[in-house]
Amino acid sequence: MFYREAGQFKSTYAADMAVFPIRQDRIGIAVILLLAFVGVPLIGNDFFTSTVMIPFLVFSLAAIGLNILTGYTGLISLGTAAFMGVGAYAAYKLTTFFPGVNIIVLVLVSGLFSAAIGVLFGLPSLRIKGFYLAVATLAAQFFLQWAFVRVPWLFNYNASGAIEVPQRLFFGIPVTGASASPETRYFVCLVLVVVLTWFASNLVHGKLGRSWMAVRDMDIAAELMGIKLLNAKLLAFAVSSFYAGVAGAMMIFFWYGGGEAADVFNIRLSFNILFMVIIGGLGSLIGSFFGAAFIASLPTILKFGLPALGVPLSGATAEHVTFMLVGALIIVFLIVEPHGLARLWQIGKQKLRTWPFPY
């Protein structure tokens, strides 16, 4: 009734090619942005901001990165966490060498390092496909994880082997380190995520996105259309790893604030991000957000939700039950909607469009 595009005529191709061609969608996005920029800091307390919102943003960005690779280009990767790690360590080394340079710039630059490493490990994708490639990306995961531990230069020869994030100011306000307030860190993350999502959306809606999807759907035909497979695939690896790298740097600098970085970027994180992409919806940017929200919040919800429902759980049992539930939910989700939450969202919108007279 309220969600209907009737009467909205498009008279230019530009209007027809807009990412949100329907006015109600544009209003919806504006409301969400308003909520994110104004609502959350006003309503949410520190706990909510730092343990729910910041992780959600970080995971969303990583999921967008992986979605570009897996959802849009059809290359499965099990090494996302390692690329995130490259970003984190690159940002750490950069801020050690150039303490004066703005930390946000450095976080973005560290994505470039991650992109370079991603291209390197993407090279085999020319010759191998599917699960073979997935296994090849495990090489990246384990090798880089090893390097994070064994190359002391990466963590400035700290005895603990951990990254210690120094305090960095942004226009006089601390954005990293112990004294940075959750709100500040949240704002920095939010701005980065919004801007980078906008770029990603532009890329996937343009020529490059079409080339990626062509490679995904029918690589041979794509090649005969004049798309250079290697370039398209490596570019996907580069962009994907850039996003992962920035997400990793954000994770250490704005969320964890340092610590056991080598353990953070392990294979389980790679799997979790793959879950987010699949449950959210392959080949959908908005799905990446849904997936991140779902997977990132599930353990928290179970941890606090089950006792609230009167199911008493000890710490260890809660963990086991969480594992079981996550496993079961993944299966249920795949059975109910293999195309992910993004598809459910679409179906919902379609229903809403015809509501209340579906015939």
Partner 1 sequence: MNAEPMNVTGEPMTGKGEVLLAVENVSLRFGGVKAISDVSFDIRKGEVRAIIGPNGAGKTSMLNCINGFYHPQEGRITYKGARRDKMKPHRAAAAGIARTFQNVALFKGMSTLDNIMTGRTLKMKRGFFWQALRHGPAMQEEIEHRRVVEDIIDFLQIEHIRKLPVGKLPYGLQKRVELGRALAMEPELLLLDEPMAGMNLEEKEDMCRFILDVNNQFGTTIALIEHDMGVVMDLSDRVVVLEYGRKIADGTPDQVKSDQKVIDAYLGVAH
Partner 2 sequence: MSDVAARPAPNLLANGWIKAGLILAGLVVVALVGAQLDGSGTFYKVFIDPFQQMVAAPDLLAQTIWEGLVSGVLYALIALGFVLIFKASGVFNFAQGIMVVFAALTLVGLHEKGVPAWLAVILTLGVMFVLAVTIERVVLRPLVNQPDIILFMATFGITYFLIGFGESLFGGNPKQMIADELYLPKGAIDLQIFGGLVSLQKIDIAAAVIASIMIAALALFFQYTRIGRALRAVADSHKAALSVGISLNQIWVIVWFTAGIVALITGIMWGARSDVSFALEIVALKALPVLILGGFTSIPGAIIGGLIIGIGEKLGEFYWGPLIGGGIESWLAYFIALGFLLFRPQGLFGDKIIERI
Q: Which residues bind partner 2 (CB under 8 A)?
A: 76, 116-117, 119-120, 123-124, 126-128, 130-132, 135-136, 138-139, 142-143, 145-147, 149-151, 153, 220-221, 230-231, 234, 267, 271, 274-275, 278, 282, 316-317, 319-331, 334-335, 338
Span 17-46, contacts to partner 1 by CB under 8 A = 17
Output the smallest distance, CB 166 to partner 2, in A.
Answer: 23
Instruction: Find the radius of gyration of the CA atoms of the chain.
Output: 21
Span 267-286, contacts to partner 1 by CB under 8 A = 283
Output the smallest distance, CB 109 to partner 2, in A.
Answer: 17
Is 235 one of the binding residues for partner 1 (CB under 8 A)? yes
DSSP 26-43: HHHHHHHHHIIIIIHHHH
267 binds, among partner 1, partner 2, none (CB under 5 to 8 A by kind): partner 2
125 binds, among partner 1, partner 2, none (CB under 5 to 8 A by kind): none
Q: Which of 269, 214, 203, 266 is nearest to 238 (CA)?
A: 203
Let me know: does 219 contact 229? Beta carbons within 8 Å.
Answer: yes
Angle between helices 229-250 and 103-122 (to 10 degrees): 140
150 binds, among partner 2, partner 1, none (CB under 5 to 8 A by kind): partner 2
Position 5, amino acid = E
Output the smallest distance, CB 83 to partner 2, in A.
Answer: 14
Give 88 or 278: the residue with its C-beta nearer to partner 2: 278
51-59, 163-171, 215-223, 340-348 -> range binding partner 1 (CB under 8 A): 215-223
| List 1, 6, 14, 42, residue binding partner 1 (CB under 8 A) | 14
Let me know: does 180 contact 250? Beta carbons within 8 Å.
Answer: no
Q: How many CB atoms lie within 10 A of CB 87?
A: 35
Helix (H, G, I), strand (E, B) or coil at 151: coil
Q: What is the dihedral of CA 138, 144, 150, 152, to 10 degrees?
A: -170
Give 37 or 142: the residue with its C-beta nearer to partner 2: 142
Peptide bond into 356 cis (omega under 30): yes
Measured CA to CA, the distance from residue 81 to residue 264 in angstroms comes to 8
| List 168, 185, 216, 233, residue binding partner 1 (CB under 8 A) | 216
In Å, how far are 24, 91, 100, 186, 266 from 161, measured between CA atoms?
51, 16, 24, 27, 15
| List 9, 207, 335, 358, residue binding partner 1 (CB under 8 A) | 207
Q: Which of 130, 118, 75, 137 is nearest to 246 (CA)?
A: 118
Output the smallest distance, CB 116 to partner 2, in A.
Answer: 7
Let me know: does 84 contact 271? Beta carbons within 8 Å.
Answer: no
Is 347 one of the binding residues for partner 1 (CB under 8 A)? no
Span 53-72, contacts to partner 1 by CB under 8 A = none
Output the smallest distance, CB 129 to partner 2, in A.
Answer: 8
334 binds, among partner 1, partner 2, none (CB under 5 to 8 A by kind): partner 2
Q: Per the structure block, which two tokens stand in for 283? A: 């080949």
How many residues belong to the site for partner 1 (CB under 8 A)? 29
Is 338 one of the binding residues for partner 1 (CB under 8 A)? no
Measured CA to CA, the distance from residue 246 to residue 117 in angstroms comes to 13
Q: What is the dihedral of CA 258, 260, 261, 265, to 10 degrees?
A: -140
Span 143-172, contacts to partner 1 by CB under 8 A = none
4 binds, among partner 1, partner 2, none (CB under 5 to 8 A by kind): none
326 binds, among partner 2, partner 1, none (CB under 5 to 8 A by kind): partner 2
Burial of 17 (0-12, 13-18, 19+ CB in 10 A): exposed
Output the smallest distance, CB 81 to partner 2, in A.
Answer: 14
Residues that bind partner 1 (CB under 8 A): 12-14, 17, 199, 202-203, 205-208, 210-211, 213-214, 216-218, 220-228, 235, 283
